[in-house]
Amino acid sequence: MTLLESTLLDFPRTDREARGAARARLDQLTMPHWALGRLMDLAEELAGITGRTPPPVAAKTIVTVAADHGIAARGVSGYPREVTVQMVRNIVRGGAGINVLARLAGARVVVVDLGVDSDLADLVGEGKIVDKKIDRGTQDMTRGPAMTRAQAVRAVEAGIEIARELGPTTQVFGTGEMGIGNTTPSSAIVALYAGAPIAEVTGRGTGIDDRQLAHKVAAIEKAVAVNRPNMGDPIDILAKLGGFEIGGIAGLILGAAAQRKPVLVDGFISTAGALIAAHIEPLSRDFMIASHRSMEPGHRIALKCLGKKPLLDLDLRLGEGTGAALALHLVEAAARILTEVATFAEAGVSQAGG
């Protein structure tokens, strides 16, 4: 039995009893009924995911998965491919946006190399990144599959491995990514699952102009036509049109959900990974929390496909796990509301209509 198969075996469901206990307490808090709205929804959701009231959320890890893309050579990004490795080193040094926001949230950042087109042996040797490299980037998906099926499975299983390795010291996971060109495969995946026109789903990514955007749309259209992915097979879609980090994020979600741990899904690329995970195992959706809605037009469409309403809408377009890091504050707030706000009986306060 493969790691993916064993992970999907007896996949958990959220805990209705724990969710009910959380709701019963939330119904009795010293405030007008459900006065804190979606924070109270989130508290109930966290109890159902973890199977515990109060839900454990103190130990937080953002996993930033890095990989390069063959499609980047087609000029679909405003930045050159070498920025991927440069930003990996910046994150390791603590100088990126994700580092600032993770520190503020009390979360650690773990960088995973699934396919960076560079030798990162020095960082691996120093224990500063996790080495799960499959290849030095994917292939150009306009010419054929981005990766082999075996590589696609390996990407997903690498994410599962990361979830298992970090699981003993993590109560809440956040997804993140780094990879120049990765909004292009993400747009392809979202367009397929949404049944939406590629032009409607595809955005400007790192800030490309109108001419580059039209070129990017055309490249995705060509990739879909060349590869003819099997819509009933998420591994086939990942292999033909995806990226190593997208597969890794899908696996991370599956691995975390299998441990009954909530996963804060970051932006557009992470949500493409979440769609792959959801089509591999539909029950995994219930363990995902949409952290925010980004500026990418396809992100709104992707979230609708997942049936998720984002916690934040701040016009973010960075990635790295930054939206997930910001949403961690709301996760902790929700858990504290559930546990620290007194009930009417505990506080000796009369209820409405009493």
Question: What tokens were used for 36?
Answer: 């804190």
C-beta of residue 219 within 8 angstroms of C-beta of residue 241? no
SS (H, E, C) 133-157: CCCCCCCCCCCCCCCCHHHHHHHHH
Residues 179 and 157: their CA atoms lie apart, in Å, by: 19
Closest CA to 255 of 233, 280, 237: 280
Residues 337 and 317: their CA atoms lie apart, in Å, by: 30
Neighbour tally for 53: CB within 10 Å: 24
Looking at this protein, which amino acid is placed at residue 317? R
Q: Residue 124 CA to chain centroid, in angstroms?
A: 23
5 part of the active site: no
Choice among 165, 221, 320, 340 that is catalytic? 320
DSSP annotation string for 8-68: HTT-----HHHHHHHHHHHTTBSSSTTTTHHHHHHHHHHHHHHT-SSPP--SEEEEEEEE-
Closest CA to 60 of 247, 250, 263, 259: 263
Q: Which residues are catalytic?
A: 320
